Structure 1
Amino acid sequence: MSGALAGLQDHLKLARDYALEGLYDTSIIFFDGVIAQINKHLNALDDAVIRTKWVDCKKAISEEIEIVKQLDAEIRAFKEIPGSRRSSSPPLPTKSFVFQPLDEYPTSSNVPLDDPDVWRPPSRDSQQYGSRRSTRSSPAGARKSSDATWARGSSKSGTVGRGAKSNASKGGSSIRSSTSSGLIGKKGKSTSKSDSQIGDAEEGKLKKGQYEGPDPDLAAMLERDVLETSPGIRWDDVAGLSEAKRLLEEAVVLPLWMPEYFQGIRRPWKGVLMFGPPGTGKTLLAKAVATECGTTFFNVSSATLASKWRGESERMVRCLFDLARAYAPSTIFIDEIDSLCNARGASGEHESSRRVKSELLVQVDGVNNSSVSEDGGRKIVMVLAATNFPWDIDEALRRRLEKRIYIPLPNFESRKELIKINLRTVEVAPDVDIDEVARRTEGYSGDDLTNVCRDASLNGMRRKIAGKTRDEIKNMSKDEISKDPVAMCDFDEALTKVQRSVSAVDIERHEKWFSEFGSA
């Protein structure tokens, strides 16, 4: 350790020890010495990385000093006469505890002392104390009007029962708010009903997304983990797949735009299954559907609905669909549904897994039957599912997912469009032949093609930093790095590194399953 840092650890340890013992003045002296040593050491440093670490260390120690100084100021405030606090004391983030006469204590929420719903604070006046004591000892029917409203309850309004008290504490409301909410007697209940009607009239409609089921904790967890109110993906962000877009628009979007047409035999589909090789855009299509039709998007996986507690997984499935109805119109997207709903009766199937599948089948089958909003319209909850292994799905779920759409590998035109989408945010050299790149990527999935474009766009940066040291790379300007456009040679190099991830056997198997069970 250098001479500037000699004894730094000992001084810092002493400063913290004195602070723990309550000797804040002595602790501040040692802390100041530590900061001075660090400043002296920083002036002699040349390495930027080490200097940054020491600056962070100095910042952390400075925060400790501020806490010790605030504690010292609080101790000094206790020793001062009320009303004569020194102006030299450092400002505190909270109000200091300066003792005042009991009659001069401020009330909570700055409520005036003559408010009938607020009791006055204790007083030194023995006469007032005696009168208050006599008032308390008087019968309940003879309470004065100066008492709080809840303390003056008559026989008509009733008293607060145990059930009302527990409801009030569960909702986090005070006794006064419980009175206005109608938790006191029959009169309070009618008041609550009228108040809620007035509130709904002011808002114009019931709050969207208000879950009223038996599992509010599970609903809150699902709302936090799987709810996406704005996926932000449009049809234009998905290259090609025009037939899949048309089918999804007919199955999901049009029933929201023309609900009076999709009635009876024309009812919306219960569910849609998208299957195909990995990386073809199934998840992207689901997000685009939710964005285009303005529905709430629930992105669910098997891990979301898994629980170590017996019976909780199926409760989460039911709670998920209840929450989706509360947020209707909504879209429930279950990615990799084969891991959640594989065929029942298979060897090694656990009993809890079978219960989850049964609950999911019940919810999917009845999701559009009894969901009706207050204005008489149907609460549309569309179930979208995606899988790379459609042959592993349970046959009962396959029946409930009435539309089964095959998402194939992108064709030549789709690959051209996808290359243009991926290169929208970078500068492209004039020698780039997109048609040639699309021809050379035959058999590539959409994700493979995106990786090719990403690797090609990074080659310019790799050439710029080749042979440079770490400090030289850090000092390079942004324009110097980004001014090199993506050239055709970058694509040639990227195509030698990135190979396709889907085999011909996989494609043949998906096409065979589509010809047997497809519904598009």
Structure 2
Amino acid sequence: MTESLYKMNLSIADICENTKMGREFALLGNYETALVYYQGVVQQIHRLLQTINDPIRKERWQQIQQQIAQEYEQVKDIQNILNGFKSDSHCDRPINTRMTYDEVPCDPDIWPPPSARDPDIWPPPTPIEHKPGPPVRQPRVGRRSEATKTSNVSRGSNSNKTGGEKVSKRVESRNAKREEKSKKESKKEEAKEETKEDKEKDEKKFDSTGYDKDLVEMLERDILQKHPNVRWDDIADLEEAKRLLEEAVVLPMWMPDFFKGIRRPWKGVLMVGPPGTGKTMLAKAVATECGTTFFNVSSSTLTSKYRGESEKLVRLLFEMARFYAPSTIFVDEIDSLCSRRGTDSEHEASRRVKSELLIQMDGITNNEDPSKVVMVLAATNFPWDIDEALRRRLEKRIYISLPNSDGREALLRINLKEVEVTEDLDISEVASKLDGYSGADITNVCRDASMMAMRRKIAGLTPDEIRNLPKEELELPVSPGDFEEAMRKINKSVSKQDLEKYEDWMAEFGSI
């Protein structure tokens, strides 16, 4: 690609130089040589147009080509007029012979010389002496550098040898600078082209033909996330859940040839667990590690007050997911969207939305290209309320439990990596005291402990005094006492009875 851009820059430089030479020869009266240069420029622009893909740039070069063609026609007309003066077909005079003043032209429209019209005029007028014009440069052959060298040598033939050497060195240095400049420009053009290609890839737009444009814009604005930017390392513990998700979602993207037939990827994965255990973070990490487009869906997104619009939103969501495939559809709190059908409290519109979601989930597999898959990830805190048909389609069901001691310690280190702590703070001891806390609870404890020193510092101060406090006095290290005080204020959010319900459901319906 660099070589092609370099050649293109050289061709543009040749076009500019040939146009300049053609105009100079035309101004000096050497129309035949000017026509040769103009023809060459038109042909060079024609070849250059075949290599240009940008429509705006191509249109500009076409305008330049038309302008050069107009100049060519003007010079050609002047040359034809001059040839008409030189030749006279009626008198059979050779083209290059000059007419004397004693001869009378055969054409009655051409006046004879004064001596032929009136014999009393004596002496006859003196013929005009045509002096040779100024010396012109010879047309260049090949590249511009060769033409420049030839012209400089012809100029230097009348000067001494030392002057010719200086001129040739100057020309060589100028050519070297020009080539270096063209290489730099070619590199810039290459970088622009690569940036443009990446941008075009990133800006892949869904064709909204046949759909409501407002619905498409709403889904792209509220749901579509192309780069969640969450890695496995950002999630503490949950190694078993990471392994299962990698096998169910990530590996089919990396090895599409292996996951075929009976080893085809799972249609859907359900993450079950108490609140605050990292289910949403896991879904974003899956999308980041796979490099897929991430659709973050909730029940409010797919709900509309107009009849039939919610079903259209569900269908449109899966159509967009297929278009941006490989993609991941993450439905958070799926129990609110697909609770059990047939209950007394179920509305007709809710039932239609559930039916459409189940139909779309059955048709998400792309048999032609296994790499273009759409994976449905769902998370819920109430797995026992999910419809049986949806539970069947979510083939892989993973339990996201509370973090263990190692997970709590890792989560504390992740939360405190940007905060200064005292030397006597034992992370392992703090982690042991947080047994039964969820990931969200531990994050809240760390946040509250990091603000304890600031609270003590601003106690009893006026607003003006608080605003004038220096930053160094507020950012004090976190001590074990801060954690003790934070744990007294923040309690665990998951009870033992809730954990037992999750474990019983997983023992009956789990698929890990």
Q: What interval of TM-score do these two structures reach, taking the shorter chain for normalisation? A: 0.5 to 0.7
1:406 corresponds to which of 381, 399, 408? 399
CA contact 1:213–1:322 (8 Å) conserved in 2: no
1:458 corresponds to which of 451, 458, 473? 451
Q: Which amino acid aligns with 1:495?
A: M
2:409 corresponds to which of 403, 413, 416? 416
The alignment status of 1:439 with 2:432, answered yes or no, reads yes
Q: Partner of 1:274 in structure 2?
A: 271
Q: Partner of 1:500 in structure 2?
A: 492
- The answer to which of 317-326 and 460-469 deviates more is 460-469
Q: Secondary structure at the match of 1:274?
A: strand
Q: Which amino acid aligns with 1:325?
A: R
The alignment status of 1:514 with 2:510, answered yes or no, reads no
The alignment status of 1:211 with 2:204, answered yes or no, reads no
2:337 corresponds to which of 335, 340, 343? 340
Listed as ranges, the matches of 1:225-374 within 5 Å are: 225-369=222-366, 372=368
d(CA) in 2 for partners of 1:339 and 1:205?
35
- The answer to which of 220-229 and 376-385 deviates more is 376-385
Q: Secondary structure at the match of 1:259?
A: coil
**Length-normalised TM-score, structure 1:** 0.59
1:480, distance to aligned residue in structure 2 (A): 2.2
Q: Percent same amino acid at aligned positions?
A: 66
In 2 relative to 1, CA 206–418 (structure 1 residues): closer, same or farther, beyond 3 Å? closer
1:277, distance to aligned residue in structure 2 (A): 0.5
1:209, distance to aligned residue in structure 2 (A): 4.0
In 2 relative to 1, CA 377–272 (structure 1 residues): closer, same or farther, beyond 3 Å? closer
1:202, distance to aligned residue in structure 2 (A): 13
1:476, distance to aligned residue in structure 2 (A): 1.2
Q: Secondary structure at the match of 2:390?
A: helix
d(CA) in 1 for partners of 2:216 and 2:204?
14
1:212, distance to aligned residue in structure 2 (A): 4.8
1:220, distance to aligned residue in structure 2 (A): 1.6
Query: What runs of 5+ residues in structure 1 fail to find an aligned partner?
Result: 1-200
Q: Secondary structure at the match of 1:362?
A: helix
Q: Which amino acid aligns with 1:412?
A: S
d(CA) in 2 for partners of 1:245 and 1:490?
33
Q: Partner of 1:385 in structure 2?
A: 378
Q: Which amino acid aligns with 1:387?
A: T
In 2 relative to 1, CA 291–205 (structure 1 residues): closer, same or farther, beyond 3 Å? closer
Runs (4+) of structure 1 exceeding 3 A deviation are 201-209
Q: Which amino acid aligns with 1:300?
A: V
d(CA) in 2 for partners of 1:215 and 1:505?
47
1:433, distance to aligned residue in structure 2 (A): 1.1
1:347, distance to aligned residue in structure 2 (A): 1.2
1:178-215, CA deviations, whole angstroms, 9 ceiling, x for partnerless residues?
xxxxxxxxxxxxxxxxxxxxxxx999989734335521
Q: Which amino acid aligns with 2:351?
A: R
CA contact 2:436–2:492 (8 Å) conserved in 1: yes
Q: Secondary structure at the match of 1:222?
A: helix
1:265, distance to aligned residue in structure 2 (A): 0.4
d(CA) in 1 for partners of 2:244 and 2:382?
21
Q: Which amino acid aligns with 1:263?
A: K
CA contact 2:366–2:372 (8 Å) conserved in 1: no
CA contact 2:228–2:288 (8 Å) conserved in 1: yes
d(CA) in 2 for partners of 1:260 and 1:492?
54
Q: Which amino acid aligns with 1:261?
A: F
1:488 corresponds to which of 480, 483, 496? 480
Q: Secondary structure at the match of 2:269?
A: strand
2:462 corresponds to which of 466, 469, 474? 469
Q: Secondary structure at the match of 2:227?
A: coil
Q: Which amino acid aligns with 1:496?
A: R
CA contact 1:211–1:219 (8 Å) conserved in 2: no
Q: Which amino acid aligns with 1:312?
A: E
In 2 relative to 1, CA 271–486 (structure 1 residues): closer, same or farther, beyond 3 Å? same
In 2 relative to 1, CA 379–212 (structure 1 residues): closer, same or farther, beyond 3 Å? farther
Q: Which amino acid aligns with 1:493?
A: E
1:382, distance to aligned residue in structure 2 (A): 0.5
Q: Which amino acid aligns with 1:234?
A: R
In 2 relative to 1, CA 428–207 (structure 1 residues): closer, same or farther, beyond 3 Å? closer
1:84-123, CA deviations, whole angstroms, 9 ceiling, x for partnerless residues?
xxxxxxxxxxxxxxxxxxxxxxxxxxxxxxxxxxxxxxxx
Q: Which amino acid aligns with 1:231?
A: P
In 2 relative to 1, CA 324–213 (structure 1 residues): closer, same or farther, beyond 3 Å? farther
Q: Secondary structure at the match of 2:431?
A: helix
d(CA) in 2 for partners of 1:203 and 1:224?
18
d(CA) in 2 for partners of 1:206 and 1:226?
16
CA contact 1:208–1:326 (8 Å) conserved in 2: no
Q: Partner of 1:57 in structure 2?
A: none
Q: Secondary structure at the match of 1:210?
A: coil
In 2 relative to 1, CA 504–406 (structure 1 residues): closer, same or farther, beyond 3 Å? same
d(CA) in 1 for partners of 2:457 and 2:210?
60
* Root mean square deviation of aligned Cα: 2.8
CA contact 2:260–2:370 (8 Å) conserved in 1: no
d(CA) in 2 for partners of 1:469 and 1:206?
51
Q: Secondary structure at the match of 1:278?
A: coil
Q: Which amino acid aligns with 1:492?
A: E
Q: Secondary structure at the match of 2:270?
A: strand
1:39-84, CA deviations, whole angstroms, 9 ceiling, x for partnerless residues?
xxxxxxxxxxxxxxxxxxxxxxxxxxxxxxxxxxxxxxxxxxxxxx
d(CA) in 1 for partners of 2:377 and 2:455?
41
Q: Partner of 1:197 in structure 2?
A: none
Q: Secondary structure at the match of 2:451?
A: helix
**Length-normalised TM-score, structure 2:** 0.60
Q: Secondary structure at the match of 2:294?
A: strand
Q: Partner of 2:419 in structure 1?
A: 426
Query: What runs of 5+ residues in structure 2 fail to find an aligned partner?
Result: 1-196
The count of corresponding residues between Structure 1 and Structure 2 is: 323
Bigger Rg, which one? 2
CA contact 1:213–1:319 (8 Å) conserved in 2: no
CA contact 2:231–2:288 (8 Å) conserved in 1: yes
